[in-house]
Structure 1
């Protein structure tokens, strides 16, 4: 695999030699000092260009970055599903190379960049031919830190967690595995993740990010809670799925009581008690 120095030099030199490219910046995990570096990190790169048309007329130009194993064009995927995208202002290629490196490259016009650049606080300039990139503070992931919940958000999270478990229970009872798994691992899990993030926020003075979908949970949760969370993942066996569901309920309850006490928010225990009774009935029938 190519080194970070090799990749960045390649990205910058390509821009230097192409008059259409006026500036280059990098963002994401490689500019975040709190993220441990590893070989799997993407290079999130922005090219500020004079126009996008010529880049799209011959898409093979991206081969200059290396031997590509697979590429995705997310804007094109969006359009295929009826989502409007303005190719004249920006376009993106996600490229995985055969050496294992990955570059997520976006091209955008100066107008588009000026409208978006300052909104992402992990941006860092690499090249600026025209001094067009806005001056910003050093990169920080502060915008991704866990935010304190309002009482309404807390109550909404609890209600969504417990309410949607009824769909999981009846999905299992009806032998509707795809539906039960989706409700549990997407809708219900999202609420469990949110509550765990608030717990982490409390213990870090809301000064860290728990990562996308809790990918840094292992760094911030006590072993007991992380092991409980790991047991909320199940295979397709219904007995194992039920064990994961009840583990999630226990973990949610333990964490929620801590969060509710910290903020002085009321926890509606009747939702908990009544849904647990409903789930046990679903399991026994």
Structure 2
């Protein structure tokens, strides 16, 4: 497996040599200094380009990143609709085990990109000095925070209501459902007690309902 240094050098060198690529960023877990490195972390990369179509004409240019075992192009699939708008992505598994999630973004969308970023982003290359303020990767958006009483209630409401779709004629499925109930009940009550929130009555109502369905159909 190629090292992180080898992969990053290849990624940056490729961008530096291609005039169509004006800006390159790294996103995701590899920018997060608060977690331990993992050899199997994806390389989440974005190239901001002046011309998208020339890249999409064929995939030969991707050969420079290494031999591929498999690749997905989500925005070029029929079964699953695109979620990235005008962006175009390549999800690549290489023969050496490295994974690259590469997204092409038109350069005029750079402001939208940073506005919607989760904070885990690092600028690798900025040929035109477009990024004026220093970009410091932060995982603040993923910090655990105290839920409001309404958020807690909404979470409980969602769990208990959706659980009513789990009925089955298979005994093991019922056992799994009731185990899930017990776990959710245990920890949601602990949260309610710890935060001084009221534990909602969805538990009793849905547990009674589910037991009746179980007796009737299981």
Q: Same fold judged by TM-score > 0.5?
A: yes
1:237-260, Cα deviation, whole Å (9 max, x unpaired): x33322221121111111111221
Residues 45 and 256 (structure 1), Cα distance of their counterparts in 2 relative to 1, 3 Å cut: same
CA contact (8 A) 1:28 1:123 kept: yes
Q: Which residue of 2 aligns with 1:40?
A: 40
Bigger shift: residues 13-22 or 133-142: 133-142
Q: Distance in 2 between matches of 1:280 and 1:151?
A: 28
Q: Distance in 1 between matches of 2:110 and 2:21?
A: 13
**RMSD of aligned C-alpha atoms?**
2.1
Q: CA deviation at 1:134?
A: 4.6
Q: Distance in 2 between matches of 1:31 and 1:81?
A: 29
Q: Distance in 1 between matches of 2:18 and 2:72?
A: 23
More helix by share: 1
1:139 paired to 2:137: yes
1:99-120, Cα deviation, whole Å (9 max, x unpaired): 1101111111221112212432
Q: Which residue of 1 aligns with 2:58?
A: 58
Q: Distance in 2 between matches of 1:2 and 1:82?
A: 33
Q: CA deviation at 1:81?
A: 4.8
Q: CA deviation at 1:4?
A: 0.5
1:116 paired to 2:113: yes
1:168-207, Cα deviation, whole Å (9 max, x unpaired): 13xx1xx4xxxxxxxxxxxxxxxxxxxxxxxxxxxxxxxx
Residues 158 and 66 (structure 1), Cα distance of their counterparts in 2 relative to 1, 3 Å cut: same
Q: Secondary structure at the match of 2:172?
A: helix
CA contact (8 A) 2:66 2:94 kept: yes
TM-score (norm 2): 0.88
Structure 2, unaligned runs of 5 or more: none
Instruction: Provide the aligned length of Structure 1 versus Structure 2.
Output: 215
Matching of residues 68-217 of structure 1 within 5 Å? 68-77=68-77, 81=80, 83=82, 86-87=85-86, 90-120=87-117, 121-169=119-167, 172=168, 175=169
Greater RCO (CA < 8 Å, at least 6 residues apart): 2
More strand by share: 2
The runs of at least 4 aligned residues of structure 1 exceeding 3 Å deviation read: 79-87
Q: CA deviation at 1:80?
A: 5.5
Bigger shift: residues 43-52 or 126-135: 126-135
Q: Distance in 2 between matches of 1:144 and 1:86?
A: 24
Residues 25 and 135 (structure 1), Cα distance of their counterparts in 2 relative to 1, 3 Å cut: same
Q: Secondary structure at the match of 1:19?
A: coil
Q: Which residue of 1 aligns with 2:215?
A: 284
TM-score (norm 1): 0.69
Q: Distance in 1 between matches of 2:123 and 2:82?
A: 30
